[in-house]
Amino acid sequence: MKPPAFEYVAASSAADAVEALRRYGDEAKILAGGQSLMPMLALRLARPSALVDINRCDDLEGLAESGGVLTVGALARQRDIPADKLYLAPLTTSLESDELATSARFQLPPEGAGWGFAEVARRHGDFALVGCAAVLALDGAGAVSHARLGFFGVGGTPVRSAPGEAALMGREPTPARVVEAAKAAAAVLSPDGDLHASADYRKKVAATLAERVLAAALSRCGRAR
């Protein structure tokens, strides 16, 4: 299908884009890569009265690292939102209608950290039924000094696993403890079931993937100096 009619604004800066958002109230949508918005327009699931194209905003470009923080996008920003306060549900964030996410900032992992990532999808490149990512670092004695474990596809938002991280922090990551941490992480998940996978199945897959990504992260860890 073709998108419904809309007005098109080619913003030249972040301030310009925010000004356009104010002008249209909650009737405007930001057009960046278009990978999600354009299909939604074509399917008429979204019918904004205006699109604000930010592809020509030079001040929103670029990658920068400073003080152990990687900034993707511009340095200019008006309000910082932690990731767990940003995502509310699929395609829904806590941004107000006149707000624009101008950058994403990531704390860099400590030196020697290892990572793991795995997902299960019906087809290559399709949305994951369940996915899991982990970053681990070890101290000089071989105990876990940094642990991050997160899931996706198990709820309306990305889910970071406090129990999974707590089960490893400060301890030696023996194979038994990794299994225990993966189980603890999956136990508290409450995924929805749908046509593609039941809630039970997602939970089981989450435990298996958590075990695999934690093991992969450990195998990539270098010891701290």
Partner 1 sequence: MKRAVRVKVNGTDCEQAVDVRSTLADLLRENLDLTGTHVGCEHGVCGACTVLFDGLPVRACLMLAAQADGHEVTTIEGVAPPGEALHPIQEAFATKHGLQCGYCTPGIIMSTCAFLKEHPAPTEGEIREMLAGHLCRCTGYHFIVEAIAEAARVLAGA
Q: What's the CA gap between 192 and 157, in Å, rounded? A: 12
Burial status of residue 123 (CB atoms within 10 A of its CB: 0-12, 13-18, 19 or more): exposed
Q: Does 53 engage in binding with partner 1 (CB under 8 A)? A: yes
Tokens of 85: 């306060």
Smallest separation, CB 9 to partner 1 (Å): 10
Residues 13 to 32 in contact with partner 1, rule: CB under 8 A: 31
CA distance 116 to 136: 9
Residue 107, both tokens: 């704390």
Beta-carbon-side half-sphere exposure of residue 150 (alpha carbons within 13 Å): 11
Does 125 participate in binding partner 1 (rule CB under 8 A)?
A: yes
Per CB under 8 A, does 154 bind partner 1? no
Q: Which is nearer to partner 1, 41 or 136 (CB)?
A: 41
CB nearer to partner 1: give 61 or 65. Answer: 61
Residue ranges in 82-111 that form contacts with partner 1 under rule CB under 8 A? none
Task: Specify the 3-state DSSP secondary structure of 193.
Answer: coil
Q: Which of 43, 64, 88, 108 binds partner 1 (CB under 8 A)?
A: 43
**For partner 1, the closer CB: 196 or 223:** 196
Which of 25, 39, 170, 193 touches partner 1 by CB under 8 A? Answer: 39
Q: Where are the alpha helices (DSSP H) in 28-156?
A: 37-42, 83-86
Identified binder of partner 1 from the candidate list 12, 55, 92, 107, rule CB under 8 A: 55
Looking at residue 36, what DSSP letter applies? T
Residues near partner 1 (CB under 8 A): 1-8, 10, 31, 34-35, 38-39, 41-43, 51, 53, 55, 123-125
